Amino acid sequence: MLQLDSTKHYLVTGVAGFIGFHLAKTLLERGCTVIGFDNLNEHYDVQLKRDRLKLLGCENFTFYHGDLTDKKALESIFSRHNLHYVINLAAQAGVRYSIENPDAYIDSNIQGFLNLLETIRRHKVEHLIYASSSSVYGQNTKIPYSVLDRTDEPVSLYAATKKANELFAHTYGHLFGIKTTGVRFFTVYGPFGRPDMAYFSFTKRIINGDEIEVYNNGDMWRDFTYIDDVINALLHIIPNPSGEAKLYNIGNTNPTRLSRFIEVLEEIIGKKAKMKMREMQPGDVYQTYADITNLHRDFGLSIQTSIEEGLTSFVKWYRSYYQV
* pLDDT tens readout for residues 98-119: 667 778 888 889 999 999 999 9
pTM of the predicted structure, to 2 decimals: 0.96
Options 3.40.50.720, 3.30.300.30, 3.30.43.10, 3.40.50.300; CATH for 9-189+225-251+289-304 is 3.40.50.720
Give the angle subtended at the CA of 133 by the CAs of 110 and 92, to the nearest 5°. 45
Residue 94 has pLDDT above 70, yes or no: no
Question: In this structure, is the dihedral angle defined by the CA atoms of residues 48, 49, 50 and 54, taken in order, positive or negative?
Answer: positive
Q: What is the pLDDT of residue 52?
A: 98
Q: How many CB atoms lie under 10 A from the CB of residue 77?
A: 20
Residue 4: pLDDT band by 50, 70, 90 thresholds?
Answer: confident
Q: What is the pLDDT of residue 98?
A: 65
Pairing of strands 256-257, 221-222: antiparallel
Largest CA distance in the chain: 56
Residue 91 has pLDDT above 90, yes or no: no
Residue 97 has pLDDT above 80, yes or no: no
Residue 319 CA to residue 213 CA, distance in Å, equals: 22
Cα–Cα nearest to 129, from 185, 71, 183: 183
Q: What is the pLDDT of residue 280?
A: 85
- For residue 112, the one-letter residue type is G
Among residues of the chain, what percentage have pLDDT more than 70? 98
- Active site amino acids: 158
Q: 30 in helix, strand or coil?
A: coil
Cα–Cα nearest to 225, from 195, 255, 268: 255
3-class DSSP string for 168-236:
HHHHHHHHHCCCEEEEEECCEECCCCCCCCHHHHHHHHHHHCCEEEEEHHHCCEECCEEHHHHHHHHHH
Residue 190 has pLDDT above 70, yes or no: yes
* pLDDT tens readout for residues 191-213: 999 999 999 999 999 999 999 99
Q: Percentages helix, strand, coil for the chain, rounded to the nearest 5?
A: 45, 20, 35
Q: Residue 254 CA to chain centroid, in angstroms?
A: 18
What value does the mean pLDDT take over residues 221-237?
97
In the chain, beta strands by DSSP E: 9-13, 33-38, 61-65, 85-88, 127-133, 180-185, 188-189, 211-215, 221-222, 225-226, 246-250, 256-257, 274-278
Cα–Cα nearest to 245, from 292, 180, 172: 180
Cα–Cα nearest to 112, from 130, 127, 95, 91: 91
What value does the mean pLDDT take over residues 60-82?
97
Burial zone of 50 (CB within 10 Å; 0-12 exposed, 13-18 middle, 19+ buried): exposed
Burial zone of 35 (CB within 10 Å; 0-12 exposed, 13-18 middle, 19+ buried): buried
Residue 16 CA to residue 246 CA, distance in Å, equals: 26
Q: How far apart are the first and last CA of the chain?
A: 35
Q: How many CA atoms lie within 13 A of 181 on its CB side?
A: 26
Residue 2 has pLDDT above 80, yes or no: no
Contact partners, residue 184, CB within 8 Å, separation at least 6:
132, 133, 134, 136, 147, 247, 248, 249, 250, 251, 290
What value does the mean pLDDT take over residues 68-83?
97
